[in-house]
Amino acid sequence: MIELRPYNELGGAQHGWLDTRHHFSFADYYDPKRMRWGHLRVWNDDTIAARSGFPAHPHRDMEIITYVRSGAITHQDSLGNRGRTEAGDVQVMSAGTGITHSEMNEESEATQLFQIWIMPDEKGLPPSWGTKPFPKGERSGSFVTLASGLPGDTDALAIRANARLVAATLKAGQSTEYQIAPGRKVYLVPASGQIEINGVVAAAGDGVAISDETLLKVSAQQDSEIVLVDVA
């Protein structure tokens, strides 16, 4: 089953400094049919104005992945970590027993990012944070794993969840495939461009909820950047 969730039908809010769209129920947006997708709980599409951002606030027992689409985000937390993540790279925060953090756009231009929350396999573990630059050329034409809690994904940033985040960039006319193990679900969003997934066309910002499929055939109708989460 492949369900298209058009960008203009997503929840969201405009806060002046933040323009956000919610693929799942979040904050003041509530849709009982869109509470989660497997262990995927949140997928927010955020545009953060220059010199602004999320001031310090707490989390616990959640795996929070930030995929930066344009610009950069600067992270600081109660563990003493501070780091800057640029477009095309990811950061992972395991909230565990509790962590307070800020995510600020210290750039002179707007930052666009996906904020993705995945429920952990085990609660009550120590909090942690990490970021890693990934060579952009490696994801040209095929999916590359950027964050994962699955066995064998040793080059990816580690998360404490039965899940994997992959990304790909496709030129117009290019195609790639993604294998889905039995019983797993996939949620996919084109960060840019327009693609076709097993016959379903999705434009930039659209959500694609996938279940009971074993193979995704993804073709780019325009130059496209694709982010996909594979969850139990």
Residue 116: band (very low, low, confident or very high) from pLDDT cuts 50, 70, 90: very high
Cα 49 from Cα 45, distance rounded (Å)? 13
Residues of the chain above pLDDT 70, percent = 100
pLDDT computed for residue 153 by the predictor: 95
- The stretch 164-183 carries a mean pLDDT of 97
DSSP string, 22-56: ESS-BTTB--TT-S-BTTEEEEEEEEE-TTEEEEE
| Ordered structural domains, the chain, with CATH | 11-129 (2.60.120.10), 137-231 (2.60.120.10)
Asked if pLDDT for residue 226 goes beyond 90, the answer is yes
Residue 134: band (very low, low, confident or very high) from pLDDT cuts 50, 70, 90: confident
Among residues 74, 71, 5, the alpha carbon closest in space to that of 43 is found at 5
Rounded to the nearest integer, the mean pLDDT of the chain is: 97
Strand partners, 147: 157, 165
Asked if pLDDT for residue 59 goes beyond 90, the answer is yes
Cα angle 148, 27, 43; round to 5? 25
pLDDT computed for residue 138 by the predictor: 83
Top-confidence residue, 139 or 161: 161
pLDDT computed for residue 20 by the predictor: 98
Asked if pLDDT for residue 204 goes beyond 90, the answer is yes
pLDDT, tens only, 1-39: 999 999 999 999 999 999 999 999 999 999 999 999 999
pLDDT computed for residue 224 by the predictor: 97
pLDDT computed for residue 54 by the predictor: 98
State the first-to-last Cα distance of the chain, in angstroms, to the nearest integer.
16
Top-confidence residue, 135 or 160: 160
Residue 70: band (very low, low, confident or very high) from pLDDT cuts 50, 70, 90: very high
Residue 173: band (very low, low, confident or very high) from pLDDT cuts 50, 70, 90: very high
- The stretch 192-215 carries a mean pLDDT of 98
Cα 201 from Cα 80, distance rounded (Å)? 44
pLDDT computed for residue 112 by the predictor: 98
pLDDT computed for residue 136 by the predictor: 80
pLDDT computed for residue 135 by the predictor: 80
